[in-house]
Amino acid sequence: MGALLLSLSAFGNRTWWTGLFGLTPFFYVLVNNNSEKPIKSNIGLSLLFGFIFYGITMIWLWPYGWYAWLGSTVYLSLYMGLFGAFFHFFVLKGERKSPISQAFRFFFLVVGVGFLWTCVDWLRGFSFQWYSLFHLAAYDKPLIQYISYLGPYFLDFVIASFDMCLVYFIIKKNAKNSINVGITEEFLANLGVFIFIIMHICSLGFLKSPLLGDYKVSILQGSLDMWEKTDEETFDTYKSLSDSVKENTDLFIMPETTFSELHKGDKITRELEKLAKDKKTPIIVGANTESEKEGLYNSAILISKEGVWQSRQNKIKLVPYGEYVPKILPFKNSMMREIDAVPGNEIVPLKLAGTDVKIGCAICFDSSFPTFFRKASKDCNVLAVISNDWWFGKHFAPENHYMMSVLRAVENRRYLLRCGSNGISGIISPEGETISKTKLDDVTVLNENFGLIKERTFYSLYGDWFPLVGMFIWLLIIPPLCFWRIK
């Protein structure tokens, strides 16, 4: 039930709130596991929870082959199994067999679980950053305001700890539970829920109407079929969209892989350079470009208003089975490219000549990793994402992908300009408010103003310090304490 409830939050703005309670049934089952071999049972239950949750939320991988979906689902589920093992060995075993006070037991079962979930999810984020609790909580505008200081993994901690507080209320109502809840624990659980509510109220002060700057962007959304389009047809479509912009604009943005390949001097590149020169407006366009190694870069190319190929940002994080084949499951199908993509290795600010605009532009999957924009904010005063979400199909994934950009804007307190091939495109304020956005599959132009912000947030300066604190607590405090008390 918990996995289904948590999965439901991925379906959009009407169901996102279920993610705030999705872990409660899961934690309740782990706490009240009375089987003869509880550690094996808890690991098995955690693996099952992970398989159901990721099996549903990763369904968009199915077009790339059932093995891609199954391999990713099983891999991500292993982290849930790891959580179940630590939950039993350090939390439940330390709590049940130690003569500890009620307040200390509360720490084990609430604060400890919150940090444990945070640490495991943080470790998972190094390999495949998708569908963390903080992604699913992106709709909670008051709560996400804290991440500019504490980072996104703080949301993992808050939600996991909040759900453990709710478990205390369930245990209190059920006399058959293996754990007795005392007055102190009941008071602390109530206090935890109260703090959760107060956090929302206090963060309302961060929410304010965005002050739009003096720069204007025109985001072009062509919504062309990625499997059927030709470069000539694509150019005609985007030229027509740019022609529909009658007022002055400072930048055109086209999505990821707008064109199959671009090389300096080829026909389409010359036409794009002429378009930028005629419009006297720089263009950011996505395309595959030559790499120094075998393969191609997936790039965001900046063409200046003088019609010069000025600079490019290469995609750093590649999509498994979309742009490369993982060595652990080396299968291909008809949807894979003949040549795998090559990852980029640096962040290149896209500077608009004659202005103060310096853009940190992520490409698709890059935007799911907080690290990219945290590093980009050092030299860039506005952020951008270009993405090709066509291959997601009609699933809920495009909306999920868009909400990741909301988090990136708040983490770094920058305006974020997002251009999707068929949506969802939008302008996001530094407070995470969507100023305007498009609908999926619309052929349209989004014209909006944006501002420049130079100041860096605490999180952009110091990174994921919060999960490191949680790791310190677990590795240096809780395990020795458990062993000492059990002994």
> For each of the chain's 487 residues, which pLDDT tens digit applies?
778 888 888 887 788 888 888 898 998 888 877 777 777 888 899 999 999 999 998 888 777 677 778 888 998 999 999 999 888 776 666 555 444 555 666 777 788 888 889 999 998 888 777 788 888 888 888 889 999 999 999 999 999 988 888 887 777 655 555 555 555 666 667 777 777 777 777 776 666 666 677 899 999 999 998 878 899 999 999 999 999 998 899 999 999 999 989 998 899 999 999 999 999 999 999 999 988 777 889 999 999 999 999 999 999 988 776 777 766 656 655 555 545 788 898 999 999 998 999 999 999 989 988 999 999 999 999 999 999 988 787 778 889 899 999 999 999 999 999 999 998 999 999 999 999 999 999 999 999 999 999 999 999 999 999 999 888 877 776 666 655 544 4
CA distance 46 to 282: 51
CA distance 310 to 260: 19
The amino acid present at 254, given as its one-letter code, is M
- This model's pTM is above 0.75: yes
Q: Is the Cβ–Cβ distance between 258 and 290 less than 8 Å?
A: no
Question: Helix count (H) and strand count (E) of the chain?
Answer: 19, 13
Location of each CATH 3.60.110.10 domain in the chain: 215-450
Predicted confidence at residue 486, as pLDDT, reads 45
The highest-level CATH class for domain 215-450 is: alpha beta
Predicted confidence at residue 99, as pLDDT, reads 46
CA distance 112 to 202: 25
Predicted confidence at residue 37, as pLDDT, reads 74
Backbone angles phi, psi at 317, to 5 degrees: -100, 115
Among candidate residues 436, 347, 423, the one with its CA nearest the CA of residue 392: 423
Predicted confidence at residue 63, as pLDDT, reads 73
How far lies 411's CA from each of 213, 307, 462, 472, in Å? 20, 34, 12, 23
Packing angle between helix 465-476 and helix 478-486, nearest 10 degrees? 20
Predicted confidence at residue 487, as pLDDT, reads 46
Among candidate residues 147, 175, 110, 42, the one with its CA nearest the CA of residue 404: 147
